[in-house]
Amino acid sequence: MASITSPSHSKSLTLSTGHTYAYIHHPPTPQHQTTILFLHGFPSSSYDWRHQIAFFASQGYGILAPDLLGYGDTSKPVSLDAYKANAMAAEIIEILDHEGQEKVHAVGHDMGCGLLSRLADYYPERLASCVFLAVPYANPGGRFDLGMVNQMSRQVLGYERFGYLGFFVGEEAAGVLDRFGESFFTLFYPHDPDLWISHVGPTGAMELWLHDDARAPLASYLTEEEKAKHQQIMHGNHRFALNWYRALVGNINAEDELRAGLEPALKMPTLMVSPQPSRLEFPGVEENMRVVAQDLTLKHVSTKGHWLQLEAREEVNGILERFLESVDGAELR
């Protein structure tokens, strides 16, 4: 949430669509001239980038970290059409235009990686590089079949990995997440990431956890104050943020992407940062990234959880800084 993460650098802009976006903006120093665009996932906001914003701003990098549509201080439309990927990508570009940013290095995490994928497809000329944290590039034009995905995960991983999506797209999900916010937080940001194998992935498991108001130990990379701020940001707003999942499961983007003739290709330098191999990770992710990315760098952090920018913050910052230096240096040569 921009107003909480960095109040002195929080801005607000009403776009041509009528949506108002809140975002954090640090202009680059004259010596640097490099700006990083951070795209968060669920259940989150620009607050999840607090460690990266502080680090890279202190190094002289420019920062653009929006609360994405349905989150934080940004507009929260009810209509699912507002959450189409091409529309949201165009809104991000309008923010870049407003701030005079012709080209940025874009970093995505979780559902933000899906939006980053479409930015790279629709507006490749605006991205100096792409960085995917934990979640890979999503091919355009494909249709998402939740039943098939869960069947495949049972075959490959030995358990359902995405059963929670059926709950997320249901009518009762937002109210349950608000009512059992403490239980949900400790489940989604667990001390032990393997908790997801039994209580997030299998169909119906998350609902049981929440209705029992179960709790898990707080992740070691979070403080009680950070947990309280996160819950303040998300309480009452889950119903809007969950529209991103309804858009995914409802396949509202497939026809637009097929009509646009998008090809699965990343022509700009690309970095994929992954956790350590575990039962949570699908095999073949790196191989698939090599197929679509012409200039690919692959890195792993030492932790095995999903929230790399939080739990492995120093590693992520170091990996990202070295990557950006290599890209910027190559452009100058």
Residue pLDDT, tens place only, 215-231: 999 899 999 999 999 99
Architecture in CATH for domain 1-142+255-332: 3-Layer(aba) Sandwich (3.40)
Mean pLDDT of 57-78: 96
pLDDT score of 261? 96
79: burial class by Cβ within 10 Å (0-12, 13-18, 19+)? exposed
pLDDT tens digits for range 155-212: 999 999 999 999 999 999 999 999 999 999 999 999 999 999 999 999 999 999 999 9
Domains of the chain, residue spans: 1-142+255-332, 144-250
In this predicted structure, the answer to whether residue 2 has a pLDDT above a threshold of 90 is no
pLDDT at 144: 94
Q: pLDDT tens digits for 125-160?
A: 999 999 999 999 999 999 999 999 999 999 999 999
Six-digit token string for 43: 């259940």
Q: Give this prediction's pTM.
A: 0.97
Taking alpha carbons only, the member of 195, 243, 254 closest to residue 219 is 195
* Mean pLDDT, the chain, whole residue set: 95
Residue 178 makes CB contacts below 8 A (sequence gap 6+) with: 235, 236, 238
Report residue 331's pLDDT band, with 50, 70 and 90 as the boundaries.
low
Q: For residue 333, what pLDDT band results from cuts at 50, 70 and 90? A: very low
The angle, 0 to 180 degrees and rounded to 10, between the axes of the packed helices 313-332 and 50-58 is 40
Range of lowest pLDDT (3-7, 34-38, 305-309)? 3-7
